[in-house]
Structure 1
Amino acid sequence: MIRTLLALDGALVRGALSLVLAAEEDIHVVGEVGRGDAVDQAVRAGRPDVAVVDFDLINEGRAMVDPATAQPCPLLVLADPRRARGLHGVFAPGRTVGILASDVAPQRVVDGVRRLARRESVVDAELVMAALAADCPLTARETEVLRLTAAGAPVAEVAGSLRLSCGTVRNHLGRIARKTGARTRIEAVRFARESGWI
């Protein structure tokens, strides 16, 4: 029996997938969560063989799956191809990760759960191509500035971390705003995260 945890944003999708998986003779759903900050506790409590996780939870920094406190169960990450650029961030040493587009047929998820339970590779080729083709207009330095800003660092702290002047950081933030069409830093961060740039 493959013990499976569902960590997906949206009760309707999560519930529907739970029904599909529970209908399989060799799969048992041991838990369902809709918030990334609840994933680590659910993994420790349910001890799943595979966790099906929404990339948006990971992408927003809300999925806490701590290998130090939880068994490193394989993750089957479901991602929107339009925001696939940041997929490299889901891979971690010692953890088996599979990736599927969030709009795949339910049977692909069932198959992915079984394959990951056997520690086999699960990769959606179209999703990988979308990740490679995603065109980020931000420079490497602008990306660094925006990542630190997204973490809540004020301009002076960003400047100190990157050994830049405060004026240079403000110039970077201005260019980032123009490239993202954002009116505020918060909007720029949200747009960049949704696009998979940070």
Structure 2
Amino acid sequence: MIRIVIAEDQQMLRGAFTSLLKFEEDIEVVADVSDGQQAWEAILKFKPDVCIVDIEMPNLTGLELAEKIRSTGINCKIIIVTTYGRPGYLQKAMSAKVEGYLLKDEPIDYLITSVRKVMKDEKVISADLAAAILLKEESPLTERETEVLRLTKEGMTTRDITKELYLTKGTIRNYLSSAIQKLEAESRQQAVNIAVEKGWL
């Protein structure tokens, strides 16, 4: 019997996953929860074989949960389901060594087949997402420009970044300006968004 925890914050989708998986004779849904922290607690309690997690959830995201599972050495396969085909998310998921990365608009049969495949130590990625890996662009940003954008993403002001990196305001502004120009953005926030979407932050 394949024991599964489902973590999905959209109640209707979570209910659909749970109901349909329960029809399978070799699958048992031991818990279905609405956020990452509840998922973590369910994993510790039930020790499932597979955890199906949404990439965007309250408290702990699917990626943060995957990293937590891996860092603690818990033996649980991870399938991330997402509406996002962004290369950046996919790269992070691969770094977290997840076994599956599926788009939510795949047929339910594909999810069921994927569960059985990951139990055989196979990797499963939606075809549209696999193409995104091959098309991943190299970042045009320098290491310092990337660092300044990362700190901006964390909510730091120019003043905060000068203290963090021990650089002058003028130097920080130059890095930001260069990054904005390279990414063909109109603002620092748009530059951050572009870099995140492309997996460069």
Note whether the superposition's TM-score is higher than 0.5: yes
Deviations 1:49-68 (A, max 9, x none): 01112223477865363435
Query: CA separation of 1:146/1:190 partners in 2, compared to 1, >3 Å: closer, same or farther?
Result: same
Distance 1:26 1:135 in 2: 41
Distance, in Å, in 1 between the alignment partners of 2:81 and 2:14 is 12
Question: Which amino acid letter does the alignment assign opposite residue 152 of structure 2?
Answer: T
| Structure 1 residue matching 2:106: 3-state secondary structure | coil
1:108 alignment counterpart: 110
Once structures 1 and 2 are overlaid, which stretch shifts more, 41-50 or 173-182?
A: 173-182
Using the TM superposition, give the Cα deviation of residue 5 of structure 1 relative to its aligned residue in structure 2, in angstroms. Answer: 1.1
Which residue of the partner structure matches residue 169 of structure 1?
Answer: 172
Amino acid at match of 1:119: D
Distance 2:178 2:11 in 1: 38
User: Relative to structure 1, is the Cα distance of residues 101 and 167 closer, same or farther in structure 2, using a 3 angstrom cutoff?
Assistant: same
Larger radius of gyration: 2
2:89 to 86, 111, 123: 86
RMSD of Structure 2 on Structure 1 (CA):
3.3
Give TM-score, length-normalised by structure 2: 0.75
Structure 1 stretches lacking a partner, 5+ long: none
Give the TM-score, by structure 1 length: 0.75
Seen in structure 2, the aligned counterparts of structure 1 residues 72 and 92 have a Cα distance that, compared at 3 Å, is: farther
Partner of 2:128: 126
Q: Provide structure 2 residue ranges, at least 5 long, that are not aligned to the other structure.
A: none
Q: CA separation in 2, counterparts of 1:102 and 1:37?
A: 21
Three-state SS of the structure 2 residue aligned to 1:126 is helix
Deviates more, 1:63-72 or 1:30-39: 63-72
Number of residue-to-residue matches in the alignment: 195
Quote the sequence identity (%).
31
SS at the partner of 1:67?
helix
Q: Is the CA contact (8 Å cut-off) linking 2:54 and 2:81 kept in structure 1?
A: yes
Deviations along 1:1-58, whole A, 9 cap, x unmatched? Answer: 1111112231111111111111111111112222233332221122110111222347
Structure 2 vs 1, CA of residues 28 and 156 (structure 1 numbering), >3 Å: closer, same or farther? same
